Amino acid sequence: MAEKKQIPLRLSVKLYNAIAAWAEDDFRSVNGQIEYLLTECVKQRKKDGKYVSETIDEGIELDIK
């Protein structure tokens, strides 16, 4: 198994809750879900040379109810 780097991560409560709910749906831990999402974004960028979104560096407003 590859060595993994630990990093601190700050998320808004809304974003954390959305990722936690998604992780539960996918039977993953929150940490596992974040790793999965980041891995998919890197794969996408390697595939087409573009970021997932042109506005990736802009703040996001989560419309979570």
Phi, psi angles (nearest 5°) of residue 23: -60, -45
> What six digits make up the tokens of 12?
């808004």
Does 59 fall in a domain? no
Task: Give the range of the structural domain holding residue 19, as residue numbers without chain letter.
Answer: 13-48
Domains in the chain: how many in total? 1
Q: Would you say residue 32 has pLDDT above 90? A: yes
CA 38 to each of CA 21, 26, 35, 42, 65: distance values in angstroms, whole numbers, following the listed order? 17, 15, 5, 6, 24
d(CA 13, CA 5): 24
For 43: left if phi > 0, alpha if psi spans -120 to 50, otherwise beta; the answer is alpha
Does 60 fall in a domain? no
Does 61 fall in a domain? no
Does 53 fall in a domain? no
Does 2 fall in a domain? no
pLDDT at 2: 84
Task: Considering only residues 57 and 45, tell me which one the structure prediction assigns the higher pLDDT.
Answer: 45
